Amino acid sequence: MKILIVVPGEVGRHLAKMLSSENQDIVLMDDDENRIKDLEDNYDLLTKVGLPTSIKDLEEAGVAETDLFIAVTPEESVNMTACMLATNLGAHQTLARIDNPEYLQPKNKDFFEKLGVAHLIYPEMLAAQEIAESLRTSWLRQRTSFCNEALTLLVIKVRENSEIINKEFSTGYFSHKKYRIVAIKRNNRTIIPTGSDMVLAGDIVYFITTNEYLEFVREQAGKSDFPIRNVMFMGGSRIAQKTIQILPSQTNVKILERDREKSFSLAEELNNTLIINCDGRNVELLKEEGIHDMDAFVAVTANSEANILACLAAKRLGVKKTIAEVENNDYIMLAESMDIGTVINKKMIAASYIYQLTLDADVLNVHNLSATDAEVVEFIATPGAKITKSKIKDLRLPDQVNIGGYVRNGVGYIVDGNTVIVPNDHVIVFCVSSAIRKMERFFN
């Protein structure tokens, strides 16, 4: 597949790095040579200095032979114009990063396709949805649902009080089919469990289950539940604004915003939200503004370090649920090790969404799991696919792959070795990023 990425901005850079190891024909375009020189020097890809809104530069970059044209600059108008030009110059598929959620309404899909923009992505909205999902359930680090919640991925850090620790998988303790542990994160290492593995205290554990057994998972993990009614945000970013708009109406929200002018504009835009013009990094100020009464603290400023430190301070002041936006990849592992509840990285979320467009198999969702090198992928089993030919235990799946469950006729099921996948099943696969291409062959 030939992919042309208009790369200014972190989403484009991260996607380029993600795809460069997959033997794809990738060309990066930027009007600033210095911004893409390091990518060309360190990764297996080509670069083109030019403007994405220049017909001449697009033609010289080979847009006519491009299978997927991706414009993810911070400028929405540039992205939309570039995609329209690329389509008319011969690109097969296009994707534009946008800032206007109105464009995402289903009624507008055909309109933009006619203009030449096949796919739209709003990274801040995707990040907001992740945060809102995390705030839905107090005892989870991350929650991802599939097929209208027929199956759910739960990410939980287990402690010494958990019932599931120190039990080898080969003992049959986990053979109840109420959930399946698809991965374990331990000391910055992702483990796909085998028979001799066990869960240890301090592990981050990835469960696939159904809504029927959410309480069973919570009890086994040794977690207590509490309602999240009072939430404090540090930073009035677009992510904060979009999250607040999709939170339940009964949620009480405070925003701490340093910029005075922005505080006034937020007060006009967000009804029933208390806006406080102050620096949320000040511990004494946090106390004054009622941090002790908060059920959750969400730090979503543009400064990753400030978000991490503020969440640590909130934890020490008694807040049980903390969420930090960490856009600096080098700090993600650090944030996880510091016991920050949920880490959000919008460029990773966006890159996973875009990545699924590069797959040949019928894929509905690709979810990046923060602080791991792994993804959760929702495949659809096509008639005649290899995945439907044998029991799962006889398929000889690639290393570092674990099938968690499947959805058949809208109903979710947990797999075991004797499960047989049938055509049109939606299959939830957990695998390290390098194994996704290998799994494609089982579903084509």
Backbone dihedral region for residue 371 (phi beyond 0: left; psi -120 to 50: alpha; all else: beta): left
Q: How is residue 198 annotated by DSSP?
A: B
Burial of 110 (0-12, 13-18, 19+ CB in 10 A): exposed
With tokens 């080969």, the residue in question is 170
pLDDT, one tens digit per residue, over 181-221 is: 999 998 878 888 988 999 999 999 999 999 999 999 999 99
Q: What is the pLDDT of residue 361?
A: 64
Cα 75 to chain centroid, rounded: 22
Percent of the chain whose pLDDT exceeds 90? 68
Q: For residue 205, give the nearest of 140, 137, 152, 135 by alpha carbon.
A: 140
* pLDDT reading at 263 higher than 80: yes
What's the pTM? 0.88
- How many Å is the maximal CA-CA distance in the chain? 65
* pLDDT reading at 44 higher than 80: no
Q: What is the pLDDT of residue 41?
A: 79
Degrees to nearest 5, angle at CA 213 with 177 and 341: 110
* pLDDT reading at 278 higher than 70: yes
Q: What is the pLDDT of residue 426?
A: 96
Task: pLDDT band for 371, please (50, 70, 90 cuts).
Answer: low
Q: Average pLDDT, stretch 384-399?
A: 93
156 is written with which tokens? 């939980």
pLDDT, one tens digit per residue, over 404-421 is: 999 999 999 999 989 999
CB atoms within 10 A of CB 345: 26
184 CB-near residues (< 8 Å, 6+ apart): 190, 191, 193, 197, 199, 203, 204, 205, 206
CB atoms within 10 A of CB 400: 18
Q: What is the pLDDT of residue 32?
A: 86
* pLDDT reading at 22 higher than 80: no
Q: What are residue 184's phi and psi, to 5 degrees?
A: -135, 135
Q: What is the pLDDT of residue 335?
A: 84
CA–CA distance from 373 to each of 172, 363, 433 (Å)? 28, 19, 6
* Domains of the chain as residue ranges with CATH: 2-121 (3.40.50.720), 132-221 (3.30.70.1450), 230-319 (3.40.50.720), 349-443 (3.30.70.1450)
Percent of the chain whose pLDDT exceeds 70? 99
215 CB-near residues (< 8 Å, 6+ apart): none
CA–CA dist 425, 261 (Å, integer): 52
Q: For residue 326, give the nearest of 340, 366, 317, 315 by alpha carbon.
A: 340
| H-helix segments, 270-339 | 283-288, 304-316, 332-337
pLDDT, one tens digit per residue, over 215-237 is: 999 999 999 999 999 999 999 99
* pLDDT reading at 118 higher than 90: yes
* pLDDT reading at 370 higher than 70: no
Q: What is the pLDDT of residue 25?
A: 86
Q: What is the pLDDT of residue 79?
A: 95
Amino acid of residue 49? V
Q: Average pLDDT, stretch 22-28?
A: 82
CA–CA dist 75, 104 (Å, integer): 17
pLDDT, one tens digit per residue, over 305-329 is: 999 999 999 999 999 999 999 988 7
